[in-house]
Structure 1
Amino acid sequence: MSDAAQAIFLSWSPPPWLTLSVALTAIVYLRGWLEIGKTRPQQFDLLRLASFYSGLAVLWLAIASPMDGFADVLLSAHMIEHLLLMSVVPPLLLYGLPVVPLLRGLPVVLRRNLIGPLLRLTFLRRFLHWLTRPVVAWFAMNISFLAWHIPSAYNFALEHENWHAVEHICFLGTSILFWWCIIRPWPSEAKRLNWGILLYLVSADVVNTILSAFLSFCDRPVYSFYLTHPNPFQVEPLEDQVLGAVIMWVLGSLAFLLPAVILALHLVRGDRSNRA
C-alpha cells in the first residue's frame, strides 16, 4: 500500500450520524420485512432482504468508508462514488420493495400519530405522485447530474463538506426517483411497460455520454480544485480527469443500456405473445 493510501486509511473514521442512520434503517426494514413476510412470504423473500441490505452497504461504502477520502483527492474516485450513488444504490434499495417494510418496521406510536396522518394529506399524496411521473423524475436526475458537474458547483462542493453532503443527497434522491419509474416497487401502482421506457433510459445515457465525452476530450483540467490542492498520489490532473470520464462513460452507459436491452427483449416477447 502506498504512503498516500495508507494516510487516507489512517485518517479515516466512520461518520457517526450516517453510520447510525444506515444501521437504524437496516433494523427498521428488517422488523417490517419479518412482519409482512408472515402474510406475503413469496413476495418478501430473502432476495428482497439481500437486495435492500446490499443497497445500504454500497451507500455506506460510497460516502462513509475510506473511499470518500480517495474521492476528495482523485476525480476518478469521485466519479466512482457518484456512479455508486446514482446507478447501483437506488435499484438495489428499490428492488427490496422498501415502502411497506419501512413503514411496518416503525414503532406503532410513530406510525399512528405522525406518518399515518401525513400520508393521508391529499396535497402530499398528489405531490408524491407528481414526483414519480417519468418526465419529472428524468429531468430531476439529469438536471441535478449536470448542475453539480458545472465547475463552480463541483469545486464549491469539494471545498465545503456540508454542501458536499447536499450534492450526495441530490444525486441519491433524484436517482431513486428515476429508477422508481422503472422498478415501481409495490405497493406503487403497476403500469404496463411500453417502448417509451427505452427512450427514458437511452436519453439519460445521452446526457451521461455528452458530459463524459466533454471531460474526456477537453485539453485542460476542468475542475480547478484538483489544481489548487495537492495530489498525494502524484497523478496529473488531466490524466485523472480522462480516467474519471472514461469510468463515467463506460460504466454509466452500462447502467442505462443493460436495463434497456433487457426491457427491449421483454417487450419483444410480449408483442409476439399478443400476436400469437
Structure 2
Amino acid sequence: MGIEAMGIQAMNGLSEATFWRALAAAGIFLVGLVYVRGWRRLQAFHDEPPPRTAPASVRSFTLFIAGLALLAVAFVSPLGYLATQYFSARIIQHMLLVASIPSLLMLSNPLPALLHGLPERNRVALLARWNDGPPGPGRRFLRWVTAPGVTLLAFLCICWFWYDPLVHAATLRFGFVHALELLSLLTVGLLNWWHITAAWPHVHGRMAPIVRILYAFISVWPVKVVGLILLFLADSPYPYPQTFQFSGLDIDDAVFGAMIAWIVSGLAYAVAAVGLVNEWLAREVDKPALPEANWATDEAMIAPHIKRRP
C-alpha cells in the first residue's frame, strides 16, 4: 500500500471516528440539558430542601452529572480512540458502560427529572399514553422485555456476545459495529441497574431484598469470567493493532486487559450487593419488637413437639 493510499485510509478512519464522537457529544449534551431543566422544575414541588434520595436532591443531581461525565470519558475522550487500538482500553471502556456509568445514573433516579425536562405537551402526552392507554401488544412486550429475569439474561448474553473473537474483530474493523456494541452494553447496563436500585418507574414492583442481592451478585461475573479465561490462553484471540510490554514483566496489553477484567470488573456490583445486604439487615434491626405478651407465654416456651401434661 502506497503512502497516499495509507493517508486516505487514515483520513477516512479519522472522519468516521470524529462523526461518532460528535454524535455522542451532542447526545450527552442534550440529555444533560433536559435533565437540568427537569431537575430545577422538580425543586419547585419542595418547600424545603428535598430528601436525600428524592429526584430533586443535590445528591441525585451530582450522581447524574457524574454519570454523564463518565459517559463522555467513555465515548468522547481519547479513551474512545484507545479502545480501538488496545485491548486493555476496551476493557476499561466496557467496565464504565456496564457498571460505573449506569450505577451513577440509576442511583440518581433520573426519569422524573428527564420527564419534567421535556416540553409540557410531550410530557403530558407520554404520561397519558402510559397511564391511560390500552394495554396493547407493544406495552405487554415492553413489560416482558424489561422484566428482571429477561433483563439479567440479556445482560449476560450481550456481555459475552461481544467477546466472541469474530464479533470482536468486527468491532475493530467497522465503526458502526463498535458503536452498536457500546450502545447495547450501556442499554443492558442501565436496565440492570434500574432493577438493582429500584429506580422509578416501578413497572414490575420492587424485588425482595434477597432477590436484589442475588441479582447484583450474578451481575458481577460476565466480564470477570472473560478475564479469567483470557489469563489462561497462550495467545490473545483479539487482533488489536497496537500492544505494549511492561519492562521486565511478561505482561503485554492482552494480559494486562485480562488482569483488569478479572480483578477489577464487577466491583461496582459487588459493592452494590454489600450495600443491599446492609440495607436489608438494617431494616430487620429497625423492625419493632413483638410485645412480650405475644411470646412470653407458657405455651411459647415449651420445646417443639412437647405437649404439656393435663
TM norm. shorter chain > 0.5: yes
Partner of 2:157: 143
Q: Given residue 193 of structure 1, which amino acid in structure 2 is its aligned partner?
A: A
The answer to whether the Cα contact below 8 Å between 2:244 and 2:253 also exists between their aligned partners in 1 is no
Distance 1:32 1:197, change over 3 A: same
CA apart distance, 1:214:
0.2
Residue 122, structure 1, aligned to residue 135, structure 2: yes
CA contact (8 A) 2:70 2:101 kept: yes
CA deviation map 1:191-237 (0-9, x unaligned): 263212222222222333322210111111111x22xx3x2x64499
Deviates more, 1:197-206 or 1:25-34: 197-206
CA distance in 2, matches of 1:118, 1:153: 38
Work out the percentage of aligned pairs sharing the same amino acid: 28
Question: Matched residues in 2 for 1:18 and 1:121: separation?
Answer: 35
- Provide the residue aligned with 1:239 in structure 2: 252
Q: Is the 8 A contact 1:220 1:238 kept in 2?
A: no
Question: Who is 2:106 aligned against?
Answer: 94
**Matched residue of 1:195: which SS?**
helix
Describe the superposition over 1:43-67 as per-residue Cα deviations: whole angstroms up to 9, x where unpaired: 2111111111111111111011111
Instruction: Determine the C-alpha separation between the residues in 1 that align with 2:227 and 2:209.
Output: 29
Distance 1:88 1:145, change over 3 A: same
Select the structure of larger CA radius of gyration. Answer: 2
| CA separation of 1:91 and 1:32: change in aligned 2, threshold 3 A | same
Q: CA deviation at 1:22?
A: 0.9
Instruction: Give me the TM-score of the superposition, normalised by structure 1.
Output: 0.85
Which residue is 1:6 aligned to? none
Backbone CA RMSD of aligned residues: 2.4
- Choose which of 195, 202, 211 in structure 2 pairs with 1:196: 211
Gapped regions of structure 2 (runs ≥ 5): 1-13, 290-310
Change (3 A) 1:21 1:77: same
Whichever structure has more helix as a proportion of its residues is 1
Corresponding residue of 2:8: none
Task: Check conservation: 1:132, 1:180, Cα contact below 8 A.
Answer: no
**Counterpart residue identity of residue 74, structure 1:** Y
Is the partner of 2:219 in helix, strand or coil?
A: helix
1:162 deviates by: 0.5
- Bigger RCO of structures 1 and 2 (CA < 8 A, at least 6 apart): 1
Helix, strand or coil: the match of 1:221?
Answer: coil
- How many Å separate the matches in 2 of 1:255 and 1:76? 18
Q: 1:266 maps to which residue? A: 279
